[in-house]
A and B are shown apart, each in its own frame.
Chain A
Amino acid sequence: MLSRIPQLLFYGLVSGSILALGGIGVSLTYSILRFSNFAHGDMMALGAYLTLALIPVAGTLGIPSAAIGPLSFGPRFIVAAVVGMACTFVIVVALDRLIFRRLRKAGRITLMITTIGIALSMRNALQFFWGPQPQYYTARIQLAIQVPRLAIRVKPDQLFVISVAVLLVALLHLFLRYTKTGKAMRATSDNPSLAQVTGINTERIILWTWVIGASLAALAGVLAGVENKFITPELGWQMLLSIFAAVILGGIGNPYGAILGGVIVGVSEEVSTAFISTGYKPAVAFGILVLMLLIRPTGLLGRRS
């Protein structure tokens, strides 16, 4: 049982990377638009399906599908995923213009219910077009490689998932820390009315928030598909509890907290399977969520108001 722990830690890092990418968007939306986006999981699924739809399109453009090195996918898939991320944020920005923009002054409950409505519509639209059955990005089978001395087996795809997450988290950090727009985003999250007083155009910051949040959500959905080997319309919705647990654990409104929380929740969920049945995985996220709300509702990195 304990001998499995190193392996489970590794799995936890993989799923934690995906949760972190999903959590960043939830956290940014919460801190800038001030509501909890229950459609975030379905934005992940949307990204995963748009990528699926774009693979043949990339094929007609002559982008080769041959796998890169030991990975199970090639340039065609990567191009499809990048364009899929862009299409996702375009759709999400359109939803903001169409729906959320009219509700900027609405209360949290109204907004929360709106996001639930969007979540249901999005998921059912995916199911309408692609059906409820699993879809596959690739039929290739990838064998895990035994890492010498560490008692773990690792698939190249999993290392890819972790590396992409680390890369994007680093890019996000540089963006928030050093660019003018990134600083304006932090300022808006810190004190929205003062941000306006300094001349920051809040609508532009909201646009950036959706672009970043939706792109990373789409990427998380695609990476979940790479890791699980299949996608379903439920993919994001099923992860939403873990994502919210991660975001609250880290401190809601703090994107760095979402990253830390994602890794902790991912690792806890995986490691728990050494002790309890896999079926209880969601209970682990739920347990973390409840525990955190009881002892430290502001989260690990959250600031006291």
Chain B
Amino acid sequence: MSLLTVDQIVSGYGDMEVLHGVDLRVDPGEILTIIGPNGAGKSTLMKTIFGILTPTAGAIAFQDQDITGLSPDRVVRLGLAYVPQVENVFPSMTVRENLEMGAFVLRGDLRERISRVTELFPVLSKRWKTHVGNMSGGERQMVAMGRALMLDPQLLMLDEPSAALAPNLAATVFERIEAINESGLSILIVEQNAKDSLRLSDRGCVLAAGLKCFEDTGPNILANEDIGRLYLGGE
């Protein structure tokens, strides 16, 4: 049984259709990377899965439950967490408050969850009271991922987690993603420069011009010369 199933999704902004019928499947425990050029509709797909955009056709199911058209504040309760590509933190709030907001739908004590997140991102524990708006891009990305993990989701959706990060920071982020995945979480990643991401992925697929045009295992995609030339910046 797959965890997330996207079936022939058509979606976009107002009259502008961006996705023209996309299929996607995420299996339990796997990392799936979506690659594709600028403007292909990768972020649009993520937003549609999470309910920020409502699809005009098609269906989305999570754990066999139909979530098509469900609003984000309902989707998040089902065990999906999403880190948007941009503006993925609350800048005027502290690191701790950002993490607390991640667990907004939960009641009760958050200390255990917070300490679990800080084990993954130790840098955060020294910056509790820092306003996230004053942090560097890399630190913000950690806060954003930490926030999403507070809910202990079953599927983590990351939109370009390494974009705009220095190479060494991007490596750290990928290393963390692998660690998170080893704890059993499924991860759906969107990446533009996706070699690092594909290397740790079970599967990958290519989205171009609003259609999924290719799908294979991570290593096979990396080995595919055409895709390498078209989407991975050549050799």
Those of A79-110 within 8 Å (CB) of chain B:
none
Q: A201 vs B76: C-alpha distance in the bound complex, in angstroms?
A: 11
CB–CB B91/A197 < 8 A:
no
Q: Which B66-120 residues have a C-beta within 8 angstroms of A? A: 71-73, 76-77, 82, 84, 87-93, 97, 100-102, 104-105
Q: Which residues in chain A, 166-192, are within 8 Å of chain B measured between CB atoms?
A: 180, 183-184, 186-187, 190-191
Whether the pair A199, B90 counts as a contact (CB closer than 8 A) is: no
Which B residues touch A202, using CB under 8 A?
A: 73
Residues B90 and A187 in contact, CB atoms below 8 Å apart: yes
Contact of A197 with B89 in the complex, beta carbons under 8 Å:
no
Classify chain A's interface size: 10 to 19
Assembly CA distance A187 to B96 (angstroms): 13
Which residues of B, 99-143, contact A by the 8 Å Cβ criterion?
Answer: 100-102, 104-105, 133
CB < 8 Å neighbour of A303 from B50, B76, B84, B133: B133
| Closest-CB distance, A174 to chain B (whole angstroms) | 15
Contact B77 A187 (CB under 8 A): no
7 A-B pairs with C-beta separation under 8 A:
A183-B97, A183-B101, A191-B91, A194-B87, A194-B90, A198-B147, A201-B73
Given A187-B90, A187-B104, 19 new contacts (CB under 8 A): A180-B104, A183-B97, A183-B100, A187-B101, A190-B93, A191-B87, A191-B89, A191-B90, A191-B91, A193-B52, A193-B84, A194-B87, A194-B89, A197-B50, A197-B84, A198-B76, A199-B72, A199-B73, A202-B73
A residues neighboring B (CB under 8 Å): 180, 183-184, 186-187, 190-191, 193-202, 303
User: Given the complex, which residues of B lie within 8 Å of A303, measured CB to CB?
Assistant: 91-92, 133
Pick from A187, A190, A194, A199: contact of B105, CB under 8 Å:
A199
Query: In the complex the two chains form, is B77's CB within 8 Å of A199's CB?
Result: yes
Shortest Cβ distance from B150 into chain A, in angstroms? 9
Contact call B102/A198, Cβ cutoff below 8 A: yes
Report which of A193, A198, A201 forms a contact with B101, defined as CB distance below 8 A. Answer: A198
Instruction: Give CA–CA (A202, B73) in the complex, Å.
Output: 9
A196 in contact with B101 (CB, 8 Å):
no
Chain A proximity of B41: nearest CB distance (Å): 18
Instruction: Pick from B52, B87, B102: contact of A196, CB below 8 A.
Output: B52
Q: Which residue of A lies closest to B73 (CB)?
A: A199
CB-defined contacts of B91 to chain A, threshold 8 Å: 190-191, 303
Minimal beta-carbon separation of B160 from chain A (angstroms): 15
Known: A197-B50, A197-B72, A199-B77. A186 touches B84 (CB 8 A): no
- Contact check, A190 vs B90: say whether CB atoms are below 8 A apart: yes
Q: What is the distance, in angstroms, from B167's C-beta to the closest C-beta of chain A? A: 27
Is B90 in contact with A186, judged by CB distance below 8 angstroms?
yes
Smallest beta-carbon distance A216→chain B, Å? 21
Q: Which 9 A-B pairs have the closest CB atoms?
A: A199-B105, A199-B76, A190-B90, A196-B72, A199-B73, A199-B104, A198-B104, A198-B101, A187-B90
